[in-house]
Structures are given as structure tokens and as C-alpha cells.
């Protein structure tokens, strides 16, 4: 595998191999000296044209723990703000002798275009409303740590599906791993064409969480309402959205006793998720962040070292 552009590009064996490698990498996180040698002398550039806290810093930490040199370039403060084209910026950075580019961009498809321009490895860290494959991998890692094998497990993904690259990547990866997904959103936030996706669709959150709509739910993933990508009114008021689609304390009680709650972050507390749900014992939000480092170490390791077996 040269690039990681889409969760849909991963076969079941490849996805499981990354998750298994991530488990090995996780052990490093608990050590006092968090450093392994395999990417010594390799250079990774985080090229972020969109805001990020956890994705960028976890790619940076992951690269550094594998002994790579990691450089961060963001649109603000770079030549992009002087009018340079995307292609020229990318070719300039790549010309410095970079081994991998980790790219986030607000245009869907931009990262795949970039992969066609350069010789180095390219990892999609989120392109517009399209895909965010390492988020799906870290979500699968987190779900697996709580539920075990994901075959036939049922995951509800709730919220702003239209603008969510996390939802699309998760649907593809969870289907590859044999899990069942139900997407829940108001009709205005459900993308057109969703009926061709490998999942079920519902507009009624209470029916889904209580198991009435499509059987017992093993885990629920809440998505952020992506106001920065909305051009018009997708729902009447925030209060109305929270009442119909927010994970309130009452809705939490509809879930089976062991069902975990996930959210990719950043969270809008009081809108898609109540503080009671976000801070409950079911919440795996911080486990997801932890898993992010292990999974990104696994992806960088497997792409850059070309090794299938972990020898660290
Ligand atoms: C997600 C993203 O950027 O797509 N966040 C993340 O990577 N942790 C989801 C979001 O912004 O809502």
C-alpha cells in the first residue's frame, strides 16, 4: 500500500493488520521512554489547510515516537496566504525530500489529487466532506477494545451525516469489518445517494437506540454539527436539533447496559451530545484520542517501513 486515501481502499485483511499493529504500538504509550527506532532518518510533513487539534497533534506524536522527523505546515503562515496554488505549495514541500505527506484540505478529493502529483506516500487526514480514514481506523480500534470482534455488531452513527467525512469512512470500514451500521439524521442532514451506501438509514433516534428500528445497538457514535460547512438552515433551531437528535441523559438510558458512546471530537456539548453523556462511564471519547496515536503509528509504520510484521 503506497497511500491511505480512503477507508474503502482497505481490504478486511489490511484493516485488521493495521488494527493489530496498532495494538502493538499501544504498548509504547504506557512506557516511560516513548521512542521506537523504525522511522529514523525519515521525514513526514503534516500539511494542514484546515483547522485541527487532535488529528494533527496525534500524527505528529505518532511520527516522533517512531523516530521520524515531523514538520508541521499550515495554510495560515504559509505561501498559500500569498496566493500560491495548491499544486505549487505541495510540489515545493515535496521537493525538500519528504517521505510522507499527511494532508488535510477543505475540498473533497484534494488529497487524492495531491497523491497524483508527488512521489512520496500521502495520507488523507480529512478531505472536505469526503473521507477521514485514520479516524475510522481509530474508531474501529476503540470499538474492538470494548466489543471484541466487530462481525455482526450493530453501530448507530448519529447526526450531521451530510457534512461528515467521519461517517462516510466509518460506514465503509465497518462494512469491510462485517459490522452493521444504521445512520440516523434529520432528512436535511442525510446525504442524497445514501441508499447506495452499505448501511441502514433512519430518521428516528429513539427507535434506533431502543432497538425498535433495526435491532439492539451495540455502540453509538455521535457526530458534530458542522456549522462551518453549512450554507443555509438545515434545522429550525439548535434547541430543536438537540431535542430530536441530541444524546440526552434519557436517550442514554435507552441503550443496552454495555453499549459505549463515541464522538470524534470536537464536541458541541448541549447540541449533539449532553454533558451527562459525554462524561459518562460509557463515553470513550478519550480512549478514541489515545487510539488515534496508536493507529497513526501503525499506518505510518506500515506505509513507510513497508513491513508487514512488527519487529519493534
Ligand atoms: C473530525 C473531522 O475533522 O472531520 N474531527 C477529527 O478529526 N477528530 C470531525 C469533526 O470535525 O467534527
Ligand 1: atom nearest CA of 55 is: 7
Q: Is 39 exposed, middle or buried (0-12, 13-18, 19+ CB in 10 A)?
A: buried
Ligand 1: atom nearest CA of 104 is: 3
- In a mutational test of the pocket of ligand 1, which residue from 127, 264, 271 has the highest number of ligand atoms less than 8 Å from its CB? 264
Q: Which DSSP string do the residues of 231-287 spell out, in sequence order?
A: -S-SSS-HHHHHHHHSB-HHHHTTS-TT--EE--S---BTTTB-HHHHTSTTB-HHH
Give the pLDDT score at 231.
76
Give the pLDDT score at 312.
57
State in Å: Cα 164 to ligand 1 middle: 8
State in Å: Cα 166 to ligand 1 middle: 7
For 117-155, the pLDDT digits (tens) are 999 999 999 999 999 999 999 999 999 999 999 999 999
Ligand 1: atom nearest CA of 125 is: 7
Which has the closest alpha carbon to 88: 98, 97, 78?
78
Show the CA angle centred on residue 27, arms to residues 21 and 32, nearest 5°. 145
| Nearest protein Cα to ligand 1, atom 7 | 55
Give the pLDDT score at 4.
98
Ligand 1: atom nearest CA of 265 is: 8
Ligand 1: atom nearest CA of 264 is: 8
Domain range annotation of the chain: 7-132+289-304, 133-284
- In a mutational test of the pocket of ligand 1, which residue from 124, 169, 266 has the highest number of ligand atoms less than 8 Å from its CB? 266
Give the pLDDT score at 309.
64
Q: What is the mean pLDDT of each run of 10 residues along the chain (312 residues)?
A: 97 98 92 94 97 95 97 83 90 96 97 98 98 98 98 98 97 98 97 96 97 94 91 84 97 94 97 98 97 98 84 59
Q: Enter the pTM of the model.
A: 0.96
Q: Do domains 7-132+289-304 and 133-284 have the same CATH topology?
A: yes
CATH class of the structural domain 133-284 = alpha beta
Query: Residue holding cell 496525534?
Result: 58
Give the pLDDT score at 310.
66
CATH class of the structural domain 7-132+289-304 = alpha beta
Three cell numbers written together for 197: 451506501
Give the pLDDT score at 29.
83
User: Ligand 1 pocket by C-beta < 6 Å: which residues?
Assistant: 54-55, 126, 132, 135, 165-166, 224, 226, 264-265
| Nearest protein Cα to ligand 1, atom 1 | 264
Give the pLDDT score at 250.
97
Give the pLDDT score at 236.
80
Q: Which DSSP string do the residues of the chain spell out, in sequence order?
A: ---B--GGG--HHHHHHHHHHHHHHHHHHTSSS----TTTT-EEEEEESS--SHHHHHHHHHHHHTT-EEEEEESTTSGGGGT--HHHHHHHHHTTT-SEEEEEESSTTHHHHHHHH-SSEEEEEEETTTB-HHHHHHHHHHHHHHHSS-TT-EEEEES--TT-HHHHHHHHHHHHTT-EEEEE--GGGS-TTGGGSSSEEES-HHHHHTTTTTS--SEEEE----GGG--S-SSS-HHHHHHHHSB-HHHHTTS-TT--EE--S---BTTTB-HHHHTSTTB-HHHHHHHHHHHHHHHHHHHHH--SS---
State in Å: Cα 263 to ligand 1 middle: 9
Give the pLDDT score at 311.
61
State in Å: Cα 312 to ligand 1 middle: 30
Amino acid at each position: 500500500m503506497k497511500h491511505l486515501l480512503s477507508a474503502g481502499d482497505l481490504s478486511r485483511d489490511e484493516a485488521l493488520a493495521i488494527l493489530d499493529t496498532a495494538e502493538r504500538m499501544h504498548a509504547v504509550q504506557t512506557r516511560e521512554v516513548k521512542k521506537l527506532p523504525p522511522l529514523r532518518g525519515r521525514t513526514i510533513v503534516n500539511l494542514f489547510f484546515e483547522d485541527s487539534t487532535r488529528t494533527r497533534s496525534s500524527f505528529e506524536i505518532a511520527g516522533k515516537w517512531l523516530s521520524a522527523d515531523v514538520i508541521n505546515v499550515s495554510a495560515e503562515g504559509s505561501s498559500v496566504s500569498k496566493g500560491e496554488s495548491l499544486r505549487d505549495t505541495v510540489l515545493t514541500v515535496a521537493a525538500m525530500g519528504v517521505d510522507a505527506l499527511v494532508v488535510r484540505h477543505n475540498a473533497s478529493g484534494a488529497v487524492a489529487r495531491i497523491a497524483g502529483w508527488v512521489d512520496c506516500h500521502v495520507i488523507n487526514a480529512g478531505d472536505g466532506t469526503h473521507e477521514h480514514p485514520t479516524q475510522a481506523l481509530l474508531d474501529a480500534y476503540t470499538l474492538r477494545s470494548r466489543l471484541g470482534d466487530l462481525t455482526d455488531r450493530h453501530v448507530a452513527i448519529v447526526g450531521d451525516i451530510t457534512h461528515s467525512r467521519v461517517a462516510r469512512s466509518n460506514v465503509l470500514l465497518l462494512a469491510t469489518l462485517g459490522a452493521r451500521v444504521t445512520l440516523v439524521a434529520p432528512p436535511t442532514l442525510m446525504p442524497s445517494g445514501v441508499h447506495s451506501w452499505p448501511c441502514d438509514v433512519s430518521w428516528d433516534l429513539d427507535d434506533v437506540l431502543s432497538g425498535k428500528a433495526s435491532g439492539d445497538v451495540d455502540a453509538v457514535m455521535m457526530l458534530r454539527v458542522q456549522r462551518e460547512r453549512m450554507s443555509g438552515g438545515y434545522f429550525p433551531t439548535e434547541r430543536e436539533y438537540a431535542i430530536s437528535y441530541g444524546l440526552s441523559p434519557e436517550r442514554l438510558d435507552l441503550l443496552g447496559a454495555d453499549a459505549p458512546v463515541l464522538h470524534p471530537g470536537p464536541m458541541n456539548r448541549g447540541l449533539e451530545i449532553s454533558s451527562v453523556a459525554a462524561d459518562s462511564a460509557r463515553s470513550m471519547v478519550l480512549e478514541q484520542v489515545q487510539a488515534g496515536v496508536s493507529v497513526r503509528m501503525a499506518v505510518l509504520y506500515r506505509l513507510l517501513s513497508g513491513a508487514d510484521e512488527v519487529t519493534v
